[in-house]
Amino acid sequence: MRRREFITLLGGTLAWPLAARAQQTMPVVGVLQAAPLINPYLAAFHQGLAEAGFVEGRNVTIDRRSVDGQYERLPALAAEFVRRKVAVIVALAPVSALAAKAAATTIPIVFELGSDPVRDGLVASLARPGGNITGVTFFANLLASKRIEVLHDIVPSASVVGLLLNPKNANAELELSDAQAAARALDVRFVVVRAAEDAEIDTAFAELARQGVAALLVAGDAYLSSRRGQIAALALRHGIATGSGTRELADAGALVSYGADRREASRQCGLYVGRVLKGEKPGDLPVIQPTKFELVINLTTAKALGLTISRELLFRADEVIE
């Protein structure tokens, strides 16, 4: 063997275990998802991580686990992350955050959710979370009355308004109470349907049609959001004007959405994960609250439903999908 070849081989032999050790010491971030994460939000999360100096595969490993709406599986996955001693647990949705908090008493937790984390018992306060947990909230479950009002502005003739919720979601009752109050104020009949599985969504829409529901609010929920295509298609088939708190449903074909900018929430979540990886304590990082809310109207769907959107409402919209 030539001397140069021998040196090259020797160098490669030494480099391999060094690279392997570097891979093994790379911090692991465990992501606990109640349902599959939508691509734009995933990209925004990685953007935030990159802003903090972390890139997947280069200096951080990300292990994503989704239960696809089977929320009862979350505690076991959270416990698995604890056994593996991951560097940070990222909890997407309130049910994921609650499972993570119950399992991890010392591992840092960063959540991204649509509810009030103080009310959920996740943090002591928004300004000073305390303990090993902090994150981002976009308050998707707290604006039901406003969304009902927007739907009624678009379909003022609707005498029956509905709410689709997931009974497995602990915050469903809060959104239900808010939507009921809005329906009473508008003096319209209110119908509630529940779905936690794909077949139940089909059954729910059949019931909505039977009850004569003309306008429907989809409650904030990770599973229901992941079934946005099915929901939008059923709403159009049954001629029901449908709204929600996150724009992905409007992108999928629902009529309208009103809520916080989820992409920005995901970016901030990634940024917080990076800061925690650098050594900052979650309990000292205030919970990030939304500063921007967006109204998105799907004009194509409005035309398909035979609805006319007023110029005033179109002017108010942050985005019109055509």
Per-residue pLDDT of 183-217, as tens digits, reads 999 999 999 999 999 999 999 999 999 999 999 99
CA 87, distance to chain mean position in Å, is: 22
If DSSP codes are grouped into helix, strand and coil, which group holds residue 152? helix
Residue 307 in contact with residue 300, Cβ under 8 Å?
no
pLDDT tens figures, 208-262: 999 999 999 999 898 999 999 999 999 999 999 999 998 899 999 999 999 998 8
Domains 27-138+262-291 and 142-260+294-321 belong to one CATH topology: yes
pLDDT tens figures, 103-128: 999 999 999 998 899 999 999 999 99
Task: Report the alpha-carbon angle 102-106-112, nearest 5.
Answer: 60
| Amino acid identity at 180 | Q
CATH homologous superfamily of domain 142-260+294-321?
Answer: Response regulator (3.40.50.2300)
Domain positions in the chain? 27-138+262-291, 142-260+294-321
Q: Which residues of 99-126 are buried (b: 16+ CB within 10 A; e: fewer)?
A: bbbebbeebbbbbbbbbbbeebebbeee
Fold that domain 27-138+262-291 belongs to in CATH: Rossmann fold (3.40.50)
